Amino acid sequence: MYPSNDPKLRSFIPVDPDSHFPIQNLPFGVFRPKAGGPPRIGTAIGDLVLDLALLEKKRFFKNFFLLPDLLIFSRPNLSNFMALSRPVWIDIRSQISRLLSGADPTLRDDSRLRGQAFYKQSEVDMLLPVEVLDYTDFYSSKEHATNVGAMFRGRENALMPNWLHLPVAYHGRTSSIVVSGTEIRRPCGQTKKDDAPDPTFGPSRMLDFELEMGFFIAKENPLGWPVPVNEAQYHIFGMVLVNDWSARDIQRWEYQPLGPFLGKNFATSISPWVVTLEALDPFRTSGPVQDPSPLPYLQNSGDRSYDIQLEVWLQGQSMPEPHRISRTNYKYLYWDMFQQVAHHTINGCNLRLGDLIASGTISGADPSSYGSLLELAWQGTKPIQLPNGETRVALLDGDRLTLTGWCQGDGYRVGFGEVTGTIVPAG
């Protein structure tokens, strides 16, 4: 097997040290050339996109499971590829790595083929990578849950009694999951001020983002059969950045007793490149100590988390460039992905290929590492300062919000690119 994760590996395609897409990454995404043509699957390398559908048609990939006529990359989503299971993903990634390293000179030495197979990233539109069947959003950051609880219930009762014993979650909606770059229309709804007797209707005045990451399920479990925590990794294909846009004023009035609804389901944005667990493997790290110890079905040890640096950037309409408003890390999450899968299925609930499972807002301990405006501006009481003199307690029309994240290697980064969205006025 080709050593795809070797830190010393280099591609014949030049890649900057701070690019998110060196040969050690090789994420999968769906793109369409701006010049035309059907959607298809590619991988990112430096500033380029490699058309895997073309290489597939030319029979570059060889695998026991790949029948000659089975096209997995000439598709508008990753489902067929994800269905092939982890040994195949690893083998195909290794073959792509070999081609891009030049160890196999086929691509390196054929300028005509290279002209057909590579696109500049600026020459393509990225599409949703996966047809998302179900969407679950966890609430796995202890710092975030504590902050929100302190605002709504006071410091003494910040964490609900169940929080340290199980990863809390709610079922979201898939129809409004959109790819990075999609404009976000300000939602309207019912809101009620604390001192007002009745609710009023209108555009949300407390529009917020939530910095999250999510993962896609590929291997299904049958209804009635839980996934053990130590097998969960074989069910997960890869990860993306997630912005769980939230209308706090709508959420606050509607959420009891059944939880989030219209304050959340108007839009959820994801980054277009799915970074595989294989590419993330060198960046595994221990998570926070769990005290009290979870029940046995949730017990997980060793390097159960990932060291992924995360940043939030905001650019208002009159700002010449984006300004970083938060910096945090995925490794701060209390509950890990494998515990989330184990808990989600412990009652026999079946996860399906294409399910998106998100982490919940990722906040660190320091106020500069909070993952939402609700926390950064502490419920409107501490407006954040922007370099042009403006302040924010909520997102304004015209604001462009960008989440980005990467794992830092020695001289290279395995990154997620970004997920961005601009707020447009209510309809």
Whole-angstrom Cα Rg for the chain:
22
What residues contact 231, with CB distance under 8 A and at least 6 apart? Answer: none
Residues 99, 92: Cα–Cα separation, whole Å: 11
Handedness of CA 67, 73, 74, 80 (dihedral sign): positive
Distance in Å, CB of 210 to Mn ion, minimum: 4
Distance in Å, CB of 247 to Mn ion, minimum: 12
Cβ closest to Mn ion, residue 91 vs residue 137: 137
Active site residue 144: yes
Of the candidate residues 51, 56, 143, 210, the single one contacting Mn ion (CB under 5 A): 210
Counting residues that bind Mn ion (by CB under 5 A) gives 3
The helix (H) or strand (E) run that includes residue 146 is helix 142-153
In Å, how far from its chain's centre is CA 266?
18
Question: Quick check: 375 binds Mn ion (CB under 5 A)?
Answer: no
Of 20, 144, 343, 344, catalytic: 144
Cβ closest to Mn ion, residue 137 vs residue 399: 137
Cβ closest to Mn ion, residue 22 vs residue 421: 421
> E strands of 176-291, at which residues?
177-179, 184-185, 188-191, 200-203, 207-208, 211-217, 236-243, 246-247, 268-270, 275-276, 284-285
Contact 23/2 with Cβ under 8 angstroms? no
Instruction: Select the span of 58-66, 240-248, 339-347, 363-371 touching Mn ion (CB under 5 A).
Output: 240-248
Q: List residues bridging with 171 in a β-sheet.
A: 136
Contact 155/392 with Cβ under 8 angstroms? no
For residue 156, report the phi and psi dihedrals to the nearest 5 degrees.
Answer: -65, -35
Residues 220, 217: Cα–Cα separation, whole Å: 7
Of 197, 242, 201, the residue nearest 371 (C-alpha):
242
Instruction: Select the span of 83-91, 142-150, 202-210, 305-313 touching Mn ion (CB under 5 A).
Output: 202-210
Cβ closest to Mn ion, residue 137 vs residue 254: 137
Distance in Å, CB of 341 to Mn ion, minimum: 18
| Nearest-CB residue for Mn ion | 244
Distance in Å, CB of 392 to Mn ion, minimum: 19
What residues contact 48, with CB distance under 8 A and at least 6 apart? Answer: 13, 118, 119, 120, 121
Distance in Å, CB of 212 to Mn ion, minimum: 6
Cβ closest to Mn ion, residue 5 vs residue 372: 372
Instruction: Select the span of 29-37, 208-216, 290-298, 310-318 touching Mn ion (CB under 5 A).
Output: 208-216
Which of 126-148 are b and which e, b meaning 16 or more Cβ less than 10 Å from the residue's Cβ? bebbbebebbbbbbbbbbbbbbb
Distance in Å, CB of 113 to Mn ion, minimum: 44
Residues 307, 21: Cα–Cα separation, whole Å: 17
Residues of this chain, 163-192, that bind Mn ion according to CB under 5 A: none
Contact 58/82 with Cβ under 8 angstroms? no
What residues contact 193, with CB distance under 8 A and at least 6 apart? Answer: none
Cβ closest to Mn ion, residue 213 vs residue 232: 213
From residue 112 to residue 141, the character string flagging contacts with Mn ion as x (rule: CB under 5 A) and all else as - is -------------------------x----
Distance in Å, CB of 139 to Mn ion, minimum: 7
Cβ closest to Mn ion, residue 221 vs residue 246: 246
Question: Quick check: 244 binds Mn ion (CB under 5 A)?
Answer: yes
Distance in Å, CB of 244 to Mn ion, minimum: 4
Cβ closest to Mn ion, residue 269 vs residue 300: 269
Question: Mapping DSSP to helix (H, G, I), strand (E, B) and coil, where does residue 118 land?
Answer: strand
Residues labelled as active-site residues:
144
Residues near Mn ion (CB under 5 A) are 137, 210, 244
